[in-house]
Amino acid sequence: MSIAVKRYKKLVKELLFAYSELEYIEEALNEAHLEFEAYYQEYCKKNDVPISELNKKNTKKLEKVYPKKEIITDEQGIVQYENSKPEKENYKVFQRMYRIIAKKLHPDKFSNQEHNLEVIEKIEAFKIATAAYNKKNWAQFLDICEKYDILPTRYEKINAIIREEISDIGKRVNNKKLAFSWRFYECEEDERCKDKIIKSFLFQLFKYSV
């Protein structure tokens, strides 16, 4: 196995780990946002924080903290996901790999075969790979490629793309960890820690001290 191949396989593992960390943080934050909001409301009630008055005076600030999610589409009306990226010339390397996936795993290939466990797994793998390819989730896409021994033709280019992807995910992870909800989540069952986060939130948002 050449050094380029070894480096590629190592980078794929790093990319998979980076995506798994991002998914974990996003899932944790979904729950943490709700827990933070409930604790925040209760804290304000217990400590006589004039939350309604503060909200009215700081409407614009609140809109930045709690922005309304917009469904963004491209010119063709296709929904653009958070991790969607514009097409680049570099992504042709993934197009080649996707064509090989289609040759090996496309459901039409198995239309005249009994759908045993192996065939079902391949069809499901094709669906996952297609969804990952369309969303440019290269970690999931390359994971399928690895399982079915589908390798790129130009390692230097794909390795550079993977490094960039790992770096982008790292930045997204770090940004999400700056959220008050994440800091609240890390307090676990420590109420003193949670109270400290709420106080900090009130001061940063409203310049209000408890």
Cα distance between residue 65 and residue 9, in whole Å: 40
**pLDDT tens series, the chain, 210 aa:** 688 889 999 999 999 999 999 999 999 999 999 999 999 999 999 999 999 999 888 887 777 766 555 545 555 444 444 444 444 555 788 999 999 999 999 999 998 888 899 999 999 999 999 999 998 899 999 999 999 999 998 888 899 999 999 999 999 999 999 999 999 999 999 999 999 999 999 999 899 998
Structure tokens at 1: 């196995």
Cα distance between residue 70 and residue 59, in whole Å: 19
Q: Which sequence spans correspond to the domains of the chain? A: 3-206
